[in-house]
Structure 1
């Protein structure tokens, strides 16, 4: 059947907003306990539940109605539950208390101290307790107090303080004998990808920690995932060479040994607890994931000979690696398949899908494949991204017409976008949009030097990369320079607002809970990110001039193109008043502007119905601005001044 000729943007797509959100789940938090496999699923209704697959390969939900497994430590969570000893311990979102549950039974309240939050728990079986990161909001101080504490498994325990004094803690890990504890700590103004410290201490008879040893790390060295091998050696990831690589501690002489030095990233930015990129199949066999130039790989490392052997797998994205003898479990996806929880057999080297985020319903003939893109940017640097051309077997563009381009800017800004199949991108490409997903300066996956290009340059280098990526594609003659749009959430929303304010390239944009006032963010945000801007912009209030100069809200007279703002009204990270201020200012200036809000949503929407509405609102907005006909019915969005 011949393809029909139609204007880009007006193509009839086989993908609906329901396909993007309502029919999908989020997967993370893989844990193993005996012959049971656990993971957590975020559901379209906004709840996160724990799922267990037992030895009979049957999966069942463990979390009953009324519970939502999600911690608010650092606000971004992760490490929401522990599966150990045949039971589970989890944080409940509503009250932030921990609950204990045996499969098949109702959860029982485990902690009872109001104002406390918990994350990243492990079981200390020898002492009959769990060890957990605790965030104390009861002290009356301007910021909560973080510490490592132990809580007896019998419950009714206020907890024993183990380690305190640092601003942040993560990843407590016991050695196989249960005699020593390793953990990470760091202080303001560092973020964990700037610099952390790896400590080890032995238990004393009373269950407290004795003499502490600093193994590695510092203000300019980021340590990721300390983990003990089955034979009691401490392994970890450090970026001391400029790349997150694997190391182990030689306790006898206090030295640190590099295991497979290479220009690759074995670590990730620790926005959440419980992240993992390696594990042990045995004392002499380590399985690890790493990324190079935006693509992930899985490999085996012989810990005796240091022979490093990558596996030949179709995956482009790998995360949350958990290893047991003979098997590896991880979250993976490829350019043609969305992410899934998979099981990899180390003997047969075969992959088995355990659970997909959603069923694959798109015929490959509609699928736009990520094309890695390097392009020149300011000051002679090279930036990275992935380009997705429009693709729909049923349609082609009109003669002499080039497609509109949607530039996507990821959040963080210390984050990364990856070349994995996403319905959220195919939604656009099957409708006739080209998409450029940018890994701007500051993104991870390209080494510490690329990450630190954003130091002191937030709102400048990242925005320049988004602008120069669009310019590059226009110069190549593959997109329409008169129909350029930019979209992003959080830090990506800030890039959108900056690009529209300080450059005259884009014709429209969408900001999802984006920062418009850096000064307000520096004053009002939560503890974990309260000093993040010291490195990204400058010390506040000493460099207030920079905060004002880079805040779009203070330069609203320069913004001269249409904008849609999308915001959760319960956002503790980017308060909704920032989006409201931008909306009011643009409306007063007579520019086309729309403002879509969602009650009960925070920083990143969890309910499918709200995500669906936001996506359709953005597409509808562009249809009005770029003046193309919609191929389907869609709820209109009120647009002021249009």
Structure 2
């Protein structure tokens, strides 16, 4: 083994390898024996395409260039396509119109060239129409949401409104007999994980809806993913017990199904999320998470029992069922994400498509350790710790590794213990990583998720700092080389941690929030009242917004920071990063700013993903003084080297 300082180890997990050998996998569907999924390709500037694998195993790309299957409804999208009788209905990113694709023909638009966005659709075959969510950007001010019906034939149509009046809609679901529609709705200032409502209505002869009936939900109950059962009952997920658990409704009464202290739901940042599916009237298939690990179970409605499948996955999402087959995406600590097909009766499974074609030697992988640690005010926080690992190297005697703390976005997201090459990039070079599930994260019940209410910029920061300090106190990392990074909301936590604590010595913000006032005044509808719960109502709580905005407290920030930002970002506009960079330059702190002209919120293009990874590593190498094993294009660092 070679003796070399932590951070300077040569690794086979390069940034080029990560972006060139991987695709994003999502949006799985089953229809008529065929399997479908979406592939997001960094090497094609982040374009998302629809793939079909026929019942005979033949794989075909249904939406080649220039088609890009993506909706921007609610800005974050999701639910961008549906399948019915072999026909595809999808949103195209460039114009946000809804298209119908009959195999062997060119896609044809179903909607006109208007500022409309469509998502989360299904086909009402009885009435020959698409039903889904429409986001209308024609009025001044906020966009208007509705559930609409769009004819499958004739001239492009903006759709017949079926229900309107709430601020947001999602998850329209058609009953098996086609006579009833269920859907979710919520209104400002709630986010869908705060409080949603589940509604049901019958169709009238003209295709409109009769008087809707509220089935579940409210301001303090979050309902997730309704699905109709073959016998006419309605299944759904609710957190009324403090855990997102399974329920059924028979038209009059609601029954809890297999209550357990685990989460069967997720924060609905995007449309089309699915964690459970009915197999028949008596059995469901359901994925749940507890303490950061996902599992898949067979749910017996008669006995209320859960029977877990013996599967080698710690991360499961996007579950759909057809007959005896289930399709989902899954990953493990040592295997990349993949589209998985499961035979429910036998428990046998196979990989249909892997997100990575890389054949990595597992000896270079760091296996995460689930940890809990004490935080402020007697709280306990959670995370996954990845120690440095590379079979070719050892560190000099007595040296402890730098630690990179990762603060996830959302901030209601959760860390995943599945293989992340973006994390292995660091650990295989000799840098430890702590992926923190700070208070506010999903996966630990509603009280833990609510810990961030009114406390954003406090609880999350305390937990990230406590985790780093705890690892240093245990002698596992170098307390003088603690750094932190994050994107979006995680970028805000990063900037707060760098500003309001003295634990970290450097950090990196990807499209992070520096000024809460700017976010409250200049963001899209979906998040326009998000801060009411996390901080307080705007502008009544203006003093709190200023108090917790790092940009107004640069005098407290005394360590180097690097910023990565997309020029076309509408969620967190570049002005926030640029204001922060200018303030740090003026103060004389080492600061770097990397701008990507054609990126939005979140980096999709291979070259930019690579640059942000390598740029961050270069930045830390300069600040912490370790040599790099690879040739990396330098990043311009203002006020560096120090005079």
**Taking structure 2 as the reference length, what is the TM-score of the superposition?**
0.98
Question: Could you tell me how far apart the structure 2 residues matched to 1:164 and 1:603 are?
Answer: 29
Q: Which residue is equivalent to 1:463? A: 461
2:520, 2:531 within 8 Å by CA — same for their partners in 1? yes
Q: Which residue is equivalent to 2:499? A: 501
Q: Which residue is equivalent to 1:99? A: 99
Q: Which residue is equivalent to 2:473? A: 475
Question: Could you tell me how far apart the structure 1 residues matched to 2:362 and 2:347 are?
Answer: 26
Q: Which residue is equivalent to 1:153? A: 152
2:439, 2:460 within 8 Å by CA — same for their partners in 1? yes
Q: Which residue is equivalent to 1:418? A: 416
Q: Which residue is equivalent to 1:186? A: 186
Q: Encode CA deviations 1:358-390: one digit per residue, 9 max, x unaligned.
A: 024221111100100100001101000000000
Q: Which residue is equivalent to 1:210? A: 210
Q: Encode CA deviations 1:7-52: one digit per residue, 9 max, x unaligned.
A: 0000010110012222110011111221211111101121000001
- 3-state DSSP of counterpart to 2:117: strand
Question: Could you tell me how far apart the structure 1 residues matched to 2:514 and 2:144 are?
Answer: 29
Question: Could you tell me how far apart the structure 2 residues matched to 1:269 and 1:158 are?
Answer: 29
Q: Which residue is equivalent to 1:521? A: 519
Match of 1:6 among 4, 7, 10: 4
Q: Which residue is equivalent to 1:330? A: 328
Q: Encode CA deviations 1:529-581: one digit per residue, 9 max, x unaligned.
A: 00000000001100100000000000011111000000000001000000001
1:337, 1:360 within 8 Å by CA — same for their partners in 2? no
Q: Which residue is equivalent to 1:258? A: 256
- 3-state DSSP of counterpart to 1:211: coil
Question: Could you tell me how far apart the structure 1 residues matched to 2:398 and 2:300 are?
Answer: 57
1:335, 1:369 within 8 Å by CA — same for their partners in 2? yes
Match of 1:573 among 565, 571, 574: 571
Indicate how the Cα distance of structure 1 residues 155 and 621 shifts in structure 2: closer, same or farther if over 3 A, else same.
farther
Equivalences for residues 341-352 of structure 1 within 5 A: 341-352=339-350
Match of 2:403 among 402, 405, 412: 405
Q: Encode CA deviations 1:146-168: one digit per residue, 9 max, x unaligned.
A: 00000011142331110000000
Equivalences for residues 489-568 of structure 1 within 5 A: 489-568=487-566
TM-superposed CA distance for 1:495, in Å, is: 0.8
Question: Could you tell me how far apart the structure 1 residues matched to 2:535 and 2:54 are?
Answer: 49
Instruction: Please say if 1:485 is aligned against 2:460.
Output: no
Equivalences for residues 375-414 of structure 1 within 5 A: 375-414=373-412
TM-superposed CA distance for 1:510, in Å, is: 0.1
Q: Which residue is equivalent to 1:61? A: 61
Q: Encode CA deviations 1:151-198: one digit per residue, 9 max, x unaligned.
A: 011142331110000000000000100000000000000000000000
- 3-state DSSP of counterpart to 1:330: strand
Q: Is the deviation greater in 25-34 or in 237-246?
A: 25-34
1:510, 1:618 within 8 Å by CA — same for their partners in 2? yes
TM-superposed CA distance for 1:305, in Å, is: 2.6
1:11, 1:395 within 8 Å by CA — same for their partners in 2? yes
Q: Which residue is equivalent to 2:122? A: 122
Q: Encode CA deviations 1:415-470: one digit per residue, 9 max, x unaligned.
A: 11110011101000000000000001100000000000000000000000000000
Equivalences for residues 344-363 of structure 1 within 5 A: 344-363=342-361
Q: Which residue is equivalent to 2:241? A: 241
Equivalences for residues 257-276 of structure 1 within 5 A: 257-276=255-274
TM-superposed CA distance for 1:231, in Å, is: 1.7
Question: Could you tell me how far apart the structure 2 residues matched to 1:155 and 1:173 are?
Answer: 24
Instruction: Please say if 1:38 is aligned against 2:31.
Output: no
TM-superposed CA distance for 1:212, in Å, is: 1.1
TM-superposed CA distance for 1:334, in Å, is: 0.6
Q: Encode CA deviations 1:619-638: one digit per residue, 9 max, x unaligned.
A: 00000001111101111100
1:144, 1:527 within 8 Å by CA — same for their partners in 2? yes
TM-superposed CA distance for 1:348, in Å, is: 2.3
- 3-state DSSP of counterpart to 1:210: coil
Question: Could you tell me how far apart the structure 1 residues matched to 2:208 and 2:325 are?
Answer: 35
2:31, 2:322 within 8 Å by CA — same for their partners in 1? no
- 3-state DSSP of counterpart to 1:52: strand
1:195, 1:221 within 8 Å by CA — same for their partners in 2? yes
2:232, 2:250 within 8 Å by CA — same for their partners in 1? no
TM-superposed CA distance for 1:113, in Å, is: 4.2
2:24, 2:40 within 8 Å by CA — same for their partners in 1? yes
TM-superposed CA distance for 1:323, in Å, is: 0.8
Q: Which residue is equivalent to 1:74? A: 74
Question: Could you tell me how far apart the structure 2 residues matched to 1:113 and 1:501 are?
Answer: 46
1:22, 1:612 within 8 Å by CA — same for their partners in 2? no
- 3-state DSSP of counterpart to 1:288: strand
TM-superposed CA distance for 1:588, in Å, is: 1.1
Question: Could you tell me how far apart the structure 2 residues matched to 1:362 and 1:505 are?
Answer: 35
Question: Could you tell me how far apart the structure 1 residues matched to 2:364 and 2:113 are?
Answer: 53
Instruction: Please say if 1:638 is aligned against 2:636.
Output: yes
Question: Could you tell me how far apart the structure 2 residues matched to 1:57 and 1:324 are?
Answer: 16
- 3-state DSSP of counterpart to 2:335: coil
TM-superposed CA distance for 1:292, in Å, is: 1.0
Q: Which residue is equivalent to 1:17? A: 15
1:19, 1:423 within 8 Å by CA — same for their partners in 2? no
Question: Could you tell me how far apart the structure 1 residues matched to 2:305 and 2:508 are?
Answer: 48
Question: Could you tell me how far apart the structure 1 residues matched to 2:111 and 2:580 are?
Answer: 42
Question: Could you tell me how far apart the structure 2 residues matched to 1:305 and 1:500 are?
Answer: 52
Question: Could you tell me how far apart the structure 2 residues matched to 1:65 and 1:426 are?
Answer: 32
Q: Encode CA deviations 1:269-304: one digit per residue, 9 max, x unaligned.
A: 100000001112222121000011111010001222
Question: Could you tell me how far apart the structure 2 residues matched to 1:412 and 1:125 are?
Answer: 37
Q: Which residue is equivalent to 1:219? A: 219
**Taking structure 1 as the reference length, what is the TM-score of the superposition?**
0.98
Please provide the CA RMSD for this pair: 0.8
Question: Could you tell me how far apart the structure 1 residues matched to 2:281 and 2:351 are?
Answer: 27
Q: Which residue is equivalent to 2:86? A: 86
Q: Which residue is equivalent to 2:582? A: 584
Question: Could you tell me how far apart the structure 2 residues matched to 1:18 and 1:228 are?
Answer: 45
2:364, 2:428 within 8 Å by CA — same for their partners in 1? yes
Q: Which residue is equivalent to 1:280? A: 278
Question: Could you tell me how far apart the structure 2 residues matched to 1:118 and 1:354 are?
Answer: 29
1:390, 1:433 within 8 Å by CA — same for their partners in 2? yes
Question: Could you tell me how far apart the structure 2 residues matched to 1:109 and 1:63 are?
Answer: 14
Gaps (5+ residues) in structure 1?
none
